[in-house]
Structure 1
């Protein structure tokens, strides 16, 4: 059958705008959405349809606006950056030779619906290229939806799978659920599952309406109350299929492309791949995008062809080999010895690398082909497997050869697993998780499943699919070998495919490539070694602290009961609401999503100055958290193999580049309270050793001085005095030696607050002064440090222009909501834009310091790096080496960056972490 592709231009323009980073060309013109749409259009032409059209909304109202004046009333106006890309998009579409349809009075959906029905009647197969769920009502024997953004195809079975109803029930389904985006009223509280359930029992909306009195509960009441509105809602969600058109489906053929106009447009908007294709097509055939006879025959093949950035080999099924014989293993060993890059992955019995046993290992050396070597599957009747120790012994020289490049996905975990078997992995060249993280930290999560879907258009096998979930989940060692092979070999294969998709992106951005190659990748073995070493804990100290915390919590509980006049459960939000807001009559400053007065930490802080009870509750919760998270927990997670506590450090979780810590989170132990500091007393050194803590002094303020180039701030740091006292002297016009404690505290709040984008209102609340006084402080600060204001304004402008800001070393920090119509969201993004270069640069500096210190310590056995906590590094040092190590650590930490001001490092030494401060 001949094929017609109908492109929902409006849908894809919005999808591309929100899905892609905010790109711009050298002229500063926004190009992100345009880039996404152009890629989709070029891919559509490569699918070689017989007929095609680009359908877009025409300006002006439609018949739906006349039916219902609140239709789409909640939609914000089109963002300026998106509006600027509409005309260039239409120019490129026209130059490509696409028929463009924009019909006044109706929406693009209606034009597409009309053409789809006409084409179906002519026995033309229709593919609607859209991401709009409303289009599912058009699906039929010869009408299929394709979403080239996610590389998915939706036929009748796909509609049923996604919505739980047939295509012919979609109109009724949408009528019941309503549409908050288009402001179509449905049945309140009726979600997709409820609507599908009703339509399963009563196959049409009319039958649901007729049987409304049989539906019980509050949802039944909602249905009956909504009955008068449902006919209007049905009319609003129904796509018209009888729009009068000047063209028929068979008129929609591609015109000859205007290659000169395309070249001018592609050059202006810097679409290099499109230019390359254009030149290749012109030189090869004399006309761009010439047709041939090899057009694909199915919707699935067209969807694969139309994927904007995914070559077919990225999303095709792989060929995987289960290796259980010595000859097969020898053959793979030979491949590994000659591979340009080895992708590897381990399967284990636990996600805790320091407590896991290896179950198997997988390799890939070319995309689409991989193997799985089972080593520890022990279910009843499991086939014979190769000897684990013999396999690992044979692989050890390959893993430990730094000249053999290796690739992993979150490779640190696999490095830690192999370390338990005496293998020290060397030659890690790439990590697909970190490639994605450096390319764009906020574009997606960086786990394999998310990356495969985003960058390959590939749906991976999920762990729950092979091992089950919840209480019935089995260990991977219990999974049968064939299933295990499909899952495990896919991991290695997809890791390699991701590298082939992501590495070219980093190669195209030299600064990002440098961040990746010089910071993130060298840091992996450093963090792995820290995790393997762990930290020594004194369980007796923690137990005593737990008892003391419990005693203090009981005292606070009794004080709270006395203040309230009766006993109540401090851990019950419901009882807290009753006491605080009903009995005491305090005014709630924050509400829960359901509209109830909130009792979370932020809400209690907001009312803590109006009554003593909120502060008592906050103090009680603080101690309860310390007890449950640390003093009660840490002793119980000491590793029996090592006698130490092992945290996990994460490189790919914080957008600014900061390292985070979990299980346990050693970076979240409070240092501003006595109880929090005392917990650090339990972090000890073994006999004959000391704990050494090295902490950057005011690093983010120093970075601000460097980036802003403000002479006053630079002078304050270069003179080596107290920068907060110097700021107080500037702001209050008082000689430094006469600055009071309160004035220094105010200056410190200003220094750090402005760097984090704090408003006058926030500063006033922090200092306990009125807003006018806080505003006056800020005005004086900026008048004394004009370079800081200029830097902040320039940074905001760059963020709006580029969609991201950069650290000193070139790491990009993308920011959402910079163009949001919501003032609060937009201002929040602007505050983040100002702060991110400081936070991100500080993160890069301490990572560089860790790499330098680790390289220096490589051949020493008297020192181990144990922890990284924000701007601090913690070491275990043999007592006789403290002086030498102190000097070496300071030298390398202070030399981790060349700033316009000195990088100062404070060092402390003690028998425990607290003493080291």
Structure 2
């Protein structure tokens, strides 16, 4: 069997061989302006590997192997800039058309008996779905990226780092997959061959490791999550383009005003986007026009200098949002922080969507919708991350900017034809938006098993009210708004391991007052401290210190055993948060699986669109909103999920036209 498939006869022979197996790995190489968006790209290479065979199928690679002229640059007389002139190669060999290839592969992709394995499987599965009328290959799936992440969430889990570690082979030092179309035919053929072959080999190695580490249940859940992510990747999220353009103008105007306030607070004009100039302003001596702030957090370069025995300069210290928040009482820091937040919104959620011609960034809106990539492996705790765009960073719904950004996401504008007893009708769509109520505090109450939070949730009392009642020694109905707000800060200090300084700023109190408040909480809610102490002991009882979430995912924290006090203390602060966030992520992912299944059963009127933290966003035909809302609530708090946790779960479902209307 030929490794590189160029004829229909070779393709038929390869397919017949693969059909005799029970599983295979596959990988695609893509081109086009939106090569990173799987629903929009163009597949020009597909490679497959199984027991005893690996094949590579080119479908339109433009280059041969003989270089005629090298890539160069030529000055553009009109713009004064240098335009890139690509290399010229001889003609490539004749290749099969995508239609021929995907017709032949259909039996392998659309039969359940074959496990289809890929590295970052959502991308590859959606990339090929467009060649089958947007129908993704049917389960069973496998994903080496998810498997590798479950086996160690703290390492680099890309294919090449795993291959180097497992097999000692370093390949593709040029990162040819980024732009396959500029490289010679044989180089891409070998690259595609190795990607598929190593994906197959790693899967064979990882499956028994997952079983040995007790992670099979977690892997099974993640593969079902993968199926829901395919649905969302193909559904997309409609956006209001006109509102987006108006927000573009509004944020640009806001930024101009904020910049003026920054200059006024600093007493001088400087490059607000320059880290060095910001360091001069923030950390410079007051006598020299600086703010005299003592720098605390080193950049990566600063840390390297210190490790190498060099003394860091002012420019080796961070001026990021975390550091600005530490000094939010300083007018320069406060206005810089505001600038960074608004500028990030403008860049991420406006120009990021619309595109920016000056910077060569294309729009990511296709037929009125965006198609985010949700990564189930994107964090160490198990929560989703997202890109193109990063919806996990959408501002809080209670803020003005949060409402503006969420208001961009709308129900599908089209009409759905429906045949009723009264005849044919065209009906519109609505959004169903649901989120869990205080999910992280419910999770910690579950693990505690008793105390103020546990009892409060069972009594139907809000967690922050229950905290205030316990800490201030008053009945729940007598808790004041101020007491509840202070207890809200306290609850999240417990979850995230915040220190007294941070708590003080959140409460608008002195550090001494915050320390007294934290001490009071420790005395009145001793169950929290006892559980933290037990959790540390339990984690340290393992060879590699770790905890397990509700469904058994591991969160490894080797720094718990560090002999360095501050490193150990940081890991101890992360431990409870990892357990709680990871278990909340388990619940959210299970809800996503359940809702995805219901949407597939009712595809003509119910479609899964987005997940952001503990929220699910669904498209529902307007005549079915009551039924859809009931299904969504059942997916999130039904018996199969509720039995996992010992306190009652709640989920609030809203019917709306814009995401911002849900809260």
Given the two structures, how large is their TM-score scaled by the length of structure 2?
0.84
Tell me the CA shift for residue 524 of structure 1.
1.1
Match of 2:59 in 1: 375
What is the rounded CA distance, in whole Å, between the counterparts of 1:693 and 1:343 in structure 2?
A: 36
Tell me the CA shift for residue 320 of structure 1.
7.1
Q: Secondary structure at the match of 1:608?
A: coil
Q: Per-residue displacement from partner, 1:151-209 (whole Å, max 9, x unpaired)?
A: xxxxxxxxxxxxxxxxxxxxxxxxxxxxxxxxxxxxxxxxxxxxxxxxxxxxxxxxxxx
1:809 and 2:551 equivalent?
Answer: yes
Match of 1:909 in 2: 655
Tell me the CA shift for residue 584 of structure 1.
5.3
Match of 1:405 in 2: 115
Q: 2:581 aligns with which of 833, 839, 845?
A: 839
Aligned ranges 1:289-300 → 2 under 5 Å: none
Aligned ranges 1:112-511 → 2 under 5 Å: 321-349=3-31, 350-366=35-51, 369-379=53-63, 380-422=90-132, 423-442=135-154, 444-462=155-173, 464=175, 466=176, 475-477=179-181, 479-509=183-213, 511=214
Conserved 8 A contact 1:589-1:606: no
Conserved 8 A contact 2:642-2:648: no
Q: 1:882 to 1:430 in 2, by over 3 A?
A: same
Conserved 8 A contact 2:452-2:525: yes
Aligned ranges 1:689-838 → 2 under 5 Å: 689-802=429-542, 803-838=545-580
Q: Secondary structure at the match of 1:371?
A: strand
Conserved 8 A contact 1:708-1:787: yes
1:520 and 2:216 equivalent?
Answer: no
Tell me the CA shift for residue 855 of structure 1.
0.7
Q: 1:738 to 1:414 in 2, by over 3 A?
A: same
Q: Mean alpha-carbon deviation: is it higher for 708-717 or for 657-666? A: 708-717
What is the rounded CA distance, in whole Å, between the counterparts of 1:462 and 1:573 in structure 2?
A: 31
Q: Per-residue displacement from partner, 1:105-143 (whole Å, max 9, x unpaired)?
A: xxxxxxxxxxxxxxxxxxxxxxxxxxxxxxxxxxxxxxx
What is the rounded CA distance, in whole Å, between the counterparts of 2:487 and 2:257 in structure 1?
A: 36
Tell me the CA shift for residue 385 of structure 1.
1.6
Q: Secondary structure at the match of 1:809?
A: coil
Tell me the CA shift for residue 599 of structure 1.
3.4
1:888 and 2:631 equivalent?
Answer: yes
Q: 1:656 aligns with which of 377, 381, 388?
A: 381
What is the rounded CA distance, in whole Å, between the counterparts of 2:39 and 2:613 in structure 1?
A: 24
Q: Secondary structure at the match of 1:372?
A: strand
Q: Secondary structure at the match of 1:842?
A: helix
Compare CA radii of gyration and give the structure with the larger one. Answer: 1
Q: Secondary structure at the match of 2:228?
A: helix
Conserved 8 A contact 1:320-1:486: no
Match of 2:405 in 1: 679
Q: Per-residue displacement from partner, 1:482-526 (whole Å, max 9, x unpaired)?
A: 3332211221111111012111111223x3111101x11111121
Tell me the CA shift for residue 754 of structure 1.
0.6
What is the rounded CA distance, in whole Å, between the counterparts of 1:702 and 1:640 in structure 2?
A: 37
Conserved 8 A contact 1:323-1:373: yes
Conserved 8 A contact 1:377-1:478: no
Conserved 8 A contact 2:591-2:635: yes
What is the rounded CA distance, in whole Å, between the counterparts of 2:534 and 2:2 in structure 1?
A: 53
What is the rounded CA distance, in whole Å, between the counterparts of 2:463 and 2:655 in structure 1?
A: 25
Q: Per-residue displacement from partner, 1:462-494 (whole Å, max 9, x unpaired)?
A: 453x57xxxxx8x42454443332211221111
What is the rounded CA distance, in whole Å, between the counterparts of 2:57 and 2:162 in structure 1?
A: 25
What is the rounded CA distance, in whole Å, between the counterparts of 1:462 and 1:352 in structure 2?
A: 24
Tell me the CA shift for residue 409 of structure 1.
1.5
What is the rounded CA distance, in whole Å, between the counterparts of 1:573 and 1:482 in structure 2?
A: 44
Tell me the CA shift for residue 629 of structure 1.
1.4
Q: Mean alpha-carbon deviation: is it higher for 806-815 or for 544-553? A: 544-553
Q: Per-residue displacement from partner, 1:869-888 (whole Å, max 9, x unpaired)?
A: 11111112221111111111
Tell me the CA shift for residue 632 of structure 1.
2.5
Tell me the CA shift for residue 591 of structure 1.
5.6
Aligned ranges 1:522-541 → 2 under 5 Å: 522-541=224-243
Q: Secondary structure at the match of 1:383?
A: coil
Q: Secondary structure at the match of 2:369?
A: coil
Q: 1:864 aligns with which of 607, 614, 617?
A: 607
What is the rounded CA distance, in whole Å, between the counterparts of 2:181 and 2:247 in structure 1?
A: 40
Q: Secondary structure at the match of 2:560?
A: coil
What is the rounded CA distance, in whole Å, between the counterparts of 1:749 and 1:868 in structure 2?
A: 26
Match of 1:244 in 2: none
What is the rounded CA distance, in whole Å, between the counterparts of 1:846 and 1:691 in structure 2?
A: 19
Q: Secondary structure at the match of 1:661?
A: strand
Q: 1:752 to 1:415 in 2, by over 3 A?
A: same
Q: Taking CA–CA contacts closer than 8 Å with sequence separation of 6 or more, which of the two structures ends up with the larger relative contact order?
A: 2
Q: Secondary structure at the match of 1:818?
A: helix
Tell me the CA shift for residue 418 of structure 1.
0.7
Q: Secondary structure at the match of 2:636?
A: helix
What is the rounded CA distance, in whole Å, between the counterparts of 2:211 and 2:600 in structure 1?
A: 30
Q: Secondary structure at the match of 1:420?
A: helix
Q: Secondary structure at the match of 2:662?
A: coil
Q: 1:370 to 1:790 in 2, by over 3 A?
A: same
Conserved 8 A contact 1:320-1:489: no
Conserved 8 A contact 2:352-2:364: no
Q: 1:690 to 1:773 in 2, by over 3 A?
A: same
Q: 1:897 to 1:761 in 2, by over 3 A?
A: same
Q: Per-residue displacement from partner, 1:294-334 (whole Å, max 9, x unpaired)?
A: xxxxxxxxxxxxxxxxxxxxxxxxx9711112222121111
Q: Secondary structure at the match of 2:648?
A: coil
Q: 1:481 to 1:572 in 2, by over 3 A?
A: closer
Tell me the CA shift for residue 792 of structure 1.
0.9
Q: 1:683 to 1:818 in 2, by over 3 A?
A: same
Q: Per-residue displacement from partner, 1:685-718 (whole Å, max 9, x unpaired)?
A: 1232112211111111101011111233211001
What is the rounded CA distance, in whole Å, between the counterparts of 2:502 and 2:270 in structure 1?
A: 33
What is the rounded CA distance, in whole Å, between the counterparts of 2:372 and 2:140 in structure 1?
A: 22
Query: Tell me, which stretches of 5 or more residues in structure 1 are unaligned?
Result: 1-318, 468-472
What is the rounded CA distance, in whole Å, between the counterparts of 1:654 and 1:500 in structure 2?
A: 24
Match of 1:586 in 2: 292
Once superposed, what is the RMSD of the aligned Cα atoms? 2.2
Conserved 8 A contact 1:455-1:501: no
What is the rounded CA distance, in whole Å, between the counterparts of 1:561 and 1:505 in structure 2?
A: 57
Q: Secondary structure at the match of 1:425?
A: coil
1:616 and 2:332 equivalent?
Answer: no
What is the rounded CA distance, in whole Å, between the counterparts of 1:730 and 1:337 in structure 2?
A: 64
Given the two structures, how large is their TM-score scaled by the length of structure 1?
0.61
Q: Per-residue displacement from partner, 1:27-69 (whole Å, max 9, x unpaired)?
A: xxxxxxxxxxxxxxxxxxxxxxxxxxxxxxxxxxxxxxxxxxx
Query: Tell me, which stretches of 5 or more residues in structure 2 are unaligned?
Result: 64-89, 303-311, 356-361, 414-427
Q: 1:578 to 1:890 in 2, by over 3 A?
A: same
Conserved 8 A contact 2:136-2:230: no
What is the rounded CA distance, in whole Å, between the counterparts of 1:644 and 1:400 in structure 2?
A: 27
Conserved 8 A contact 2:468-2:483: yes
Q: 2:250 aligns with which of 532, 535, 548?
A: 548
Q: Per-residue displacement from partner, 1:200-225 (whole Å, max 9, x unpaired)?
A: xxxxxxxxxxxxxxxxxxxxxxxxxx
How many residues are treated as equivalent by the alignment? Answer: 587
Q: Secondary structure at the match of 1:361?
A: strand
Tell me the CA shift for residue 543 of structure 1.
1.6
What is the rounded CA distance, in whole Å, between the counterparts of 2:267 and 2:501 in structure 1?
A: 35
Q: 1:429 to 1:646 in 2, by over 3 A?
A: closer
Q: 1:479 to 1:846 in 2, by over 3 A?
A: same
Tell me the CA shift for residue 574 of structure 1.
4.1
Tell me the CA shift for residue 639 of structure 1.
4.9
Q: Per-residue displacement from partner, 1:536-581 (whole Å, max 9, x unpaired)?
A: 1112112212222222222223333334444444334444444444
